[in-house]
Structure 1
Amino acid sequence: MSGCQATSESTSTPFRDPRLPDGERVADLLARLTLDERIAMLHQFAPAVERLGLAAFRTGQEALHGVAWMGPATVFPQAVGLGATWHPELLRRIGEAVGTEVRAMRARDERVGLNVWAPVVNLLRDPRWGRNEEGYAEDPYLTSALAAAYTRGLRGDDPVRWRTAPVLKHWLAHNNETHRDTASSSVRPRVLHEYDLAAFRGAVRAGAVAGVMPAYNLVNGRPNHVSPYLREHLRTWIEQELVVCSDAGAPSNLVDSEHYFDTHEEAVAAALLAGVDSFTDHDQDASKTVERVRGALERGLIDASVVEVAVRRLLAMRCALGEFDPPTEPAESVKAAGFDTPGHRALALEAAEQAVVLLKNDGLLPLSDATAGTVAVVGPLADGCKLDWYSGSLIRRSTPREALVARLGAERVVFVEGTDTVRLRAAAGWVRVPDAEAPERAREGGPEGSLNPAHTAGRTDLPPLTVGPAPTDLALADWGGGVLTLRAPSGRYLTVAEDGFVRAAAEQPGGWVVQETFTLERHGDGHLLRHRGTGGYVCVAAEGLKVAAPDGSSEVANAKAMVAKAQAEVFTLEVVERGEDAVARTAAEATTVLVLAGNDPHINGRETEDRTTLALPAQQDRLWRAAHAANPRTALVLVSSYPYAVGEAADVLPALLWTAHGGQAAGTGLARVLFGDVSPAGRLPQTWYADEEELPDLLDYDIIASRATYLYFDGAPLFPFGHGLSYTRFAYGELSVQRTASEGEGAVLAVECEVTNAGPCDGDEVVQIYVSAPKARVPRPHRRLVAHRRVPLRQGETARLFFTVPVDEALGFWDVAHGRWTVDPGTYEIHAGASSADIRCTATIAVDGPPPAPRPVLERGLAAADFDSADGIRLVDLTKVRGDAVACADDTIGRLLFRACDFGAGARTVTVEAARAEDVEGDGAVVELHLSDGTTLASVAIPPTGDPYRYTTVGATLPTPPSGVHDLHITLRGALRLARLGFSG
């Protein structure tokens, strides 16, 4: 009961009776709750209802790649690494392990929640996204398949009771941290249906999803937390009740940062009406949410039935989790059954192995124990096992260096980190780190008493750095963009606690606001040292080095910043040794060199911070160049949350690998791949571009027009989507495709192909099935993934693989002319291959049917958002509740194209429905219509309407009435919103 004492009213009631259907039990409980009790349940931290014996309930337990934020747990590879496995069954088993640990940890600690917020199904459209590590792939099919598998594991196999209740993140079209709570993703209907919705749709329909979390951003000018798509799409995909949990602080953003509503009462009412059920706001303080809901009721913005609907969904989820059932097994057995088991450890290792992608290999790999000789393992990731913001605490770990030492012995492994060794001199002397005891390290409950780093960044019991006659050598790592970390000889990072003093106290960079990063700013003949966590500059105080941090309002902060900068110490930086010099020296003496480069997930490219470049940090770039110059037997291993543009490395190095941060078994998994215990079979879940110049603007979500992702990219990628090499070879036999009808459903494609392991060792092949429409009437993807299989094959073994794909899903697209999903008649190509660019065999299939009809503009008119192509426009909200309109991107000029418009015997008039917020007359807002041959049909001036949501309809006669079928061009001029056009004969 979680501390609640049951009263007479809570015993022998229908909602406690497991023999009754869940719907009846939920209805009974709902009827027993007062309105105040119902309102209280809308907050993330729903209080207990003691008179009914109901425990408190919290929505939201992070479980992206293991149980996060609740202490030690099994840590699996980052989600993008799991995406690289292309292995749904593996993800199902990982989900099962994570769900089991959630239950086991819940039995120990009631703060652990059973409503898990995972996985993230946002598509990796742009590799600069700071949260790239959280998604599975840039492809909606692959993302959905992996998400469905992971949620099946989290949910469990019981047909009635759920192990945990997974919530998908983040609805919808969310792929930027820059202005993430105020930026609007402009998503036209084709991109919406074919790309962004598709990733969610398949996972939800698989039936193991409890709900979704809306994203911080806006879509087409409307915040996701009041998205009509929740009602129009999400809740139509499945009969099961789905819970919508807000993102943290997002309900308040509707007023505070987005200014979409004037009052919080209006905002909370609109969110409830849109379908938000649980409000994650103001941390554990539910009072503001409760007050706002009450205010919305008092003002008549909603009625009690709206609250009832949301609470019913929440109670249905709690009932499915078994909260209202009698216990089925003792808590002690739950605690012991599923936490840090040998099976979970083995699964973490398997995942780490399967996530490794071999990008290039000219014969250097696999290494052998006998011939590898002395191995130099160098670079900033060589002895690290990095966590990210959504990791649990490590019970055990393995770094690449540790794994190689365990395999080869310490005498055959040489380690150099490759950081610069530097000294800092102030006016009064050298910066020095006082001698101090190392911070304690917390021992957690693994059977081996494994070490787990204590969080020590906020310690104030250690002495701060001082200045004196003798210097301390510091290790300087440059993570790119001028972001530095400095580490003392003890291995501890320089950090800043709340008192502002600089200490060597942190085991690793971390925390929501990282306190371990600095920037050196050139100042005269020296440098100012700026602390990024506070924005302040380091000065020398009597007690030691201290940060003078700005605070307060923006004006006050700016003023204080000027004062702080004036007081800042000017440091002289002396480089004792460059990291690349140490690497070159070590590489020259080794037989084989492994350079491990990449990112620290807490430093750059993370939640709240997008990357600005695809380049490897300059310091790390110098390391592989120095190593290769000294020893041609050099492999570069990128350990990162995202792709890099490393074309020169790919050209000259004999071997190149990538793996995401691989969790607790990262080092061992990598070593087993390097030495051929496991043939690599990871595949890239997103395109690796050769240069960031090939990418569109970060906020350009129109992948069709911007030619983004493997689906539309017209250039030559550095490494294509689906790419990954092996230590063996695979031969493909003939591909066959047939169209058949499945019982109770539509037509399907039955695809068969044969694959043989024709190489020297056992290995997995990832067979990828793509579809293309070479003569399509609208822009279609070059190729689109519709099925895949990761299949293990022994040397010489052949497997015949069968795939079944619905015809609509495989061949269809969203027809904006008629507002529906459609399959055009014509010839389609089905491909089987080892990547999107490595196609091994192709078959064709013909689809019969009537030719596509033109747009019936006389009968239906034209919704402005249903254009075929556009330039210089943005999609905006038609109203605050539903619908889309079109506006000029910069309020000057925009163009729309509507193809194949059927004007019948002739259209003589046009009506333009538009809004113009300006309240001054003039000709600054005009809608122009013309045909492809240059014929001008009309120029319609839009008068001021005084409000962007107040539309007016303006009619005009067409001097040259068009007849028959034509392409229609629309030009928008000025600050207006175009909703639709109508035509009459």
Structure 2
Amino acid sequence: MELSKRFDQIYVSEPSPSHPPRERVAPVTPTPEQQAQALLAELTVQEKVAFLHQHQPVVERLGLEKFLTGCEGLHGVAWIGKATVFPQAVGLGATWDRELVRRVGEAVSTEVRAFSQDTANAYQDSGQNEKPPQVTLNVWAPVVNLLRDPRWGRNEEGYSEDPYATAQIATAFCRGLRGDHPTVWRTTPVLKHFLAYNIETDRDIVDVRVPDRVLHEYEFPAFRGPIEAGVVAGVMPGYNLTNGVPNHVHPLINEALRSWDPEVAVCSDAQAPSNLVEREKYFPDHVESHAAALKAGVDSYTDNSADSAPTIERFTAALERGLITEADLDQAVRRLLLLRARTGEFAKDADPYAGIRAEVIDSAPHRALAREAADASVVLLKNEDAALPLPTGQDAPGRIAVIGHLGTRVLTDWYSGTLPYSVSIADGLAAAYAEAGTEVVTADGADLVVLRVADEQGAEAAAFGPYRHQDWGTSVQCPLPVHTLQAEDNGRYLGLTGEDDLVADAVSATPDGWFVKELWEFESAPGTAADAASGETFTLRANSPHSRKYVRVEPGTGRLLADIEDAAAATRFQLEVVQDGEQEAERLAASADRVVLVLGNDPHINGRETVDRDGLALPARQERLLRVVQRAHPAAVLVVVSSYPYAIDFAQENLPAILWSSHAGQEIGSALAGVLTGAQSPSGRLPQTWYAGSAVLPDPTDYDVVGSRWTYRYSRRDHLYPFGHGLSYATFEYSDPTAQVRAEGAGAFTVTLDLDVTNTGSRFGDEIVQIYARRTGGEDFDAEREALRVLVGFARVPLAAGERREVAFEVAGESLAQWSEAEGRTRVPAGEYVFEAGASSTDLRTSVRVKLS
């Protein structure tokens, strides 16, 4: 029986002999809450237990199809096939544009719908050969963890180091994912990862200590904002412990999250329920741990992949032991049924999104939106003596050299979809200068090398390659530098392949996957890095989470096998440089009219999920390339394409212009070419502080942002670029603001700020007007513990040359709230407040004082 008809029968009465027929009233679709409750009442205890696992089974008698929690859509549909790839989340945060981010969320959710409702066509169009996957409308995005520490491996996944900015952008993205229909959600967003999750090193056992003040003023607001806005269906806990308690059994799930929305579903992170026993050893057995997680408020268990049997066995035993009751099951299953009901699954005739089909994936409007988002995310960090934009038209340069490994490549990350197409920076510049006849030449700066077997007898030694060699430096998890070797003949990377990954061969299109198999260490002795550039002999060792074996040359076949445990038995190699990459870059830079140097990270190497960075410096090889190019062409422009900040002190001191972009998806090259040539005025602003190389950062586990002075709010460290920084080709002036305080009852109030912003330049530009508040005195005022300033408002304001526009801000009083240890709550302390308006957290142009009592 169709579910929609079942519910019609429940809620529409039929005539009986004692009641004559009446004119039939059109059936009313039950609310999602009513649908969930009605279905819950018909499930058996065994079915309820089965529904707790991520893979929920079919219940034919109720018309329930199988269901899966969890589709990845952080900046485009991921892990399914070709789909529109938007800028990384940190890049979306750099737009400071709520409406743009909402439209990106709308596009992502529309493509999720297409994959779910038109799976065969969507999957076929994506060029996949495997069986189409099950696609859920439950989207595990966005990530609202704050970018407190720029060394965090997952920095690319967050929006900002500031909780207000994060909450605003996350709310916009969730609003796009949810859709505007009053009852039916296009997709159901799940926020990640509650609570204080900001470390990859030992992430499933690390205990993060968070003072109450930091919890309430810094951590909670990022989650609370989108949840209270009514656009969040679920939350995922983080792997770590917070204040001694694993997040998956933390009382704050019910005490905090459910106080903001009692219906929010909680989906566990992968394998985290089992980690409570196996890694964290917080409980003696899985039955007790699962029971505790259910009591704490976890509803859905992402555990043991698709095998639901262990989860079912553990909860069945918990019922038998009396550790949980059927009422506990009912709370969780009802929330999960509501998660499904909200998408129209149980009333498909009333689903306004049911007609979405595969043609929306990578459609022309989505391509245009990807370009718009990439445009808005580019940040101009420095522009000395108007070095940018590059000349065009009759003044166009005859030759532009694009140097660096990211100049001709468009990279994705772990949570990206498959690129439907890509425009590199070199491609974008070539297109921009096509009519001018400018020659765009490229060099990646990598050495072309041969791996030659070291032969002490002087005989002709076996050789492998040539390869393009990149040294990616070190990370917390990889204390020795890791290297990639890209075969010159086929462009593929040397990686682990074959049965049990014991063969080393150049078969990988790019370093990718959960277990990156294309990374190698050069060891002069076990645990010691080799200086391969000097001709030192070394062993080649796999750097993969599941293989740390050494390489040997197989006699007879000449194959490279990564199957040696003992370094002494491994083949020893020497690195023969066929072509020096730095010399080639230097030659090209010296011969070009203009040089664009592109440096940055590969999102799968030394800074990603499971891997934290060990510092802020560029890899040594990239730093050397930077200096070589600068000497050859002092007017070179640097473009940093990265998932996180770098301490680029030398570039800031010695190059005239610097741009930053996240890995901004399929249109990154078009966007950067637009800014470089002046077709687009840069308008992105940094969503986090870029610290200088001299800055001494706190330990990554130190989450006390107040005491350790993390982020722009408290930091007095040396920085290169402040939070909110970004330049434009236009110039802007601010009028003095006016302020009014409006009481709203029950102690609530709003501060209304009005000011004028004028484009005083000669061309169009978007200004990101930022409003900061700081307290200068009043009750319990402690200058050492007070925030330097706190972001309380922002707006993207488009202005034509000479245009002036009035901008109004409504600052909720709770934005000024501080935690009171004495009262055990947040409140707005009395005192004098200064509201400052400007272009960054340090470029503050004007202010107004307000006294609050």
Deviation readout 1:78-117 (Å, 9 max, x if unpaired): 0000011111111000000001111011112261110100
Confirm whether residue 92 of structure 1 aligns to residue 102 of structure 2. Answer: yes
How far did 1:740 drift?
A: 1.1
Query: Does the 8 Å contact 1:9/1:52 carry over to 2?
Result: no
Normalised to the residue count of structure 1, the TM-score between the two structures is: 0.78
Who is 1:841 aligned against? Answer: 846
Confirm whether residue 31 of structure 1 aligns to residue 41 of structure 2. Answer: yes
Equivalent residues, number: 794
Who is 2:53 aligned against? Answer: 43
Correspondent of 2:452 among 396, 414, 425: 425
Deviation readout 1:939-981 (Å, 9 max, x if unpaired): xxxxxxxxxxxxxxxxxxxxxxxxxxxxxxxxxxxxxxxxxxx
Confirm whether residue 491 of structure 1 aligns to residue 491 of structure 2. Answer: yes
Rounded to whole Å, the distance in 2 between the matches of 1:805 and 1:320 is 32
How far did 1:314 drift?
A: 0.6
Query: Does the 8 Å contact 1:365/1:674 carry over to 2?
Result: yes
Rounded to whole Å, the distance in 2 between the matches of 1:428 and 1:629 is 39
How far did 1:820 drift?
A: 1.3
How far did 1:737 drift?
A: 1.4
Correspondent of 1:260 among 263, 275, 282: 282
Deviation readout 1:550-570 (Å, 9 max, x if unpaired): 7xxxxxxxxxx33xx121111
Amino acid at match of 2:339: M
Deviation readout 1:485-517 (Å, 9 max, x if unpaired): 001112111111033222111111101111111
Other structure's SS at 1:571 match: strand
Query: Does the 8 Å contact 1:15/1:324 carry over to 2?
Result: no
Alignment of 1:461-480 (within 5 A): 472-480=465-473
| Change over 3 Å in CA distance of 1:712–1:28 after alignment to 2 | same
How far did 1:337 drift?
A: 5.5
Deviation readout 1:266-298 (Å, 9 max, x if unpaired): 111111111100000000000000000011111
Other structure's SS at 2:559 match: strand
Who is 1:603 aligned against? Answer: 605
Who is 1:250 aligned against? Answer: 272
Confirm whether residue 279 of structure 1 aligns to residue 304 of structure 2. Answer: no
Alignment of 1:179-190 (within 5 A): 179-190=202-213
Confirm whether residue 750 of structure 1 aligns to residue 752 of structure 2. Answer: yes
Confirm whether residue 821 of structure 1 aligns to residue 826 of structure 2. Answer: yes
Rounded to whole Å, the distance in 1 between the matches of 2:837 and 2:66 is 52
Who is 2:552 aligned against? Answer: 539
How far did 1:545 drift?
A: 3.5
The structure with the greater share of residues assigned to helix is: 2
How far did 1:629 drift?
A: 0.9
Confirm whether residue 365 of structure 1 aligns to residue 379 of structure 2. Answer: no
How far did 1:8 drift?
A: 13
Correspondent of 1:70 among 80, 83, 88: 80
Rounded to whole Å, the distance in 1 between the matches of 2:644 and 2:31 is 46
Alignment of 1:487-886 (within 5 A): 487-489=486-488, 490-499=490-499, 500-523=502-525, 525-533=536-544, 534-542=547-555, 543-549=557-563, 561-562=565-566, 565-691=567-693, 693-742=695-744, 746-775=748-777, 777-778=781-782, 779-809=785-815, 811-848=816-853
The structure with the greater share of residues assigned to strand is: 1
Amino acid at match of 1:540: V
Who is 1:153 aligned against? Answer: 176
Who is 1:321 aligned against? Answer: 343
Amino acid at match of 1:474: Y
How far did 1:715 drift?
A: 2.4
Other structure's SS at 2:469 match: strand
Rounded to whole Å, the distance in 2 between the matches of 1:483 and 1:191 is 36
| Change over 3 Å in CA distance of 1:75–1:759 after alignment to 2 | same
Correspondent of 1:106 among 108, 112, 116: 116
How far did 1:22 drift?
A: 3.0
Rounded to whole Å, the distance in 1 between the matches of 2:354 and 2:360 is 11
Alignment of 1:325-404 (within 5 A): 325-328=347-350, 333-336=355-358, 338-362=360-384, 363-370=386-393, 371-373=395-397, 374-404=399-429
Query: Does the 8 Å contact 2:32/2:183 carry over to 1?
Result: no
Rounded to whole Å, the distance in 2 between the matches of 1:180 and 1:15 is 49
How far did 1:10 drift?
A: 5.9
Other structure's SS at 1:829 match: strand
How far did 1:473 drift?
A: 2.2
Amino acid at match of 2:538: H
Query: Does the 8 Å contact 1:372/1:591 carry over to 2?
Result: no
Amino acid at match of 1:541: E
Query: Does the 8 Å contact 2:140/2:191 carry over to 1?
Result: yes
Amino acid at match of 1:472: G
| Change over 3 Å in CA distance of 1:220–1:181 after alignment to 2 | same
Superposition RMSD in Å: 2.1
Rounded to whole Å, the distance in 1 between the matches of 2:570 and 2:207 is 39
Who is 1:308 aligned against? Answer: 330
Amino acid at match of 1:137: S
Correspondent of 1:198 among 221, 237, 248: 221
Who is 1:887 aligned against? Answer: none
Correspondent of 2:311 among 259, 264, 289: 289
Query: Does the 8 Å contact 1:358/1:724 carry over to 2?
Result: yes
Query: Does the 8 Å contact 2:3/2:347 carry over to 1?
Result: no
Amino acid at match of 1:313: R
Runs of 5+ in structure 1 lacking a partner?
431-466, 551-560, 849-985
Rounded to whole Å, the distance in 2 between the matches of 1:378 and 1:654 is 17
Query: Does the 8 Å contact 2:87/2:664 carry over to 1?
Result: yes
Who is 1:906 aligned against? Answer: none
Rounded to whole Å, the distance in 2 between the matches of 1:820 and 1:719 is 34
How far did 1:67 drift?
A: 0.5
Confirm whether residue 144 of structure 1 aligns to residue 167 of structure 2. Answer: yes
Which segment drifts farther, 514-523 or 291-300?
514-523
Other structure's SS at 2:805 match: strand
Query: Does the 8 Å contact 2:452/2:461 carry over to 1?
Result: no
Correspondent of 2:249 among 216, 226, 249: 226
| Change over 3 Å in CA distance of 1:829–1:8 after alignment to 2 | closer
Other structure's SS at 1:385 match: coil
| Change over 3 Å in CA distance of 1:262–1:501 after alignment to 2 | same
| Change over 3 Å in CA distance of 1:629–1:328 after alignment to 2 | same
Could you say which structure has the larger radius of gyration? 1
| Change over 3 Å in CA distance of 1:168–1:331 after alignment to 2 | closer
Amino acid at match of 1:496: L
Query: Does the 8 Å contact 1:66/1:76 carry over to 2?
Result: yes
Which segment drifts farther, 371-380 or 324-333?
324-333
Deviation readout 1:284-335 (Å, 9 max, x if unpaired): 0000000000111111111110001100001111111101113357999421
Other structure's SS at 1:775 match: strand
Normalised to the residue count of structure 2, the TM-score between the two structures is: 0.90
Other structure's SS at 1:327 match: helix
| Change over 3 Å in CA distance of 1:291–1:696 after alignment to 2 | same
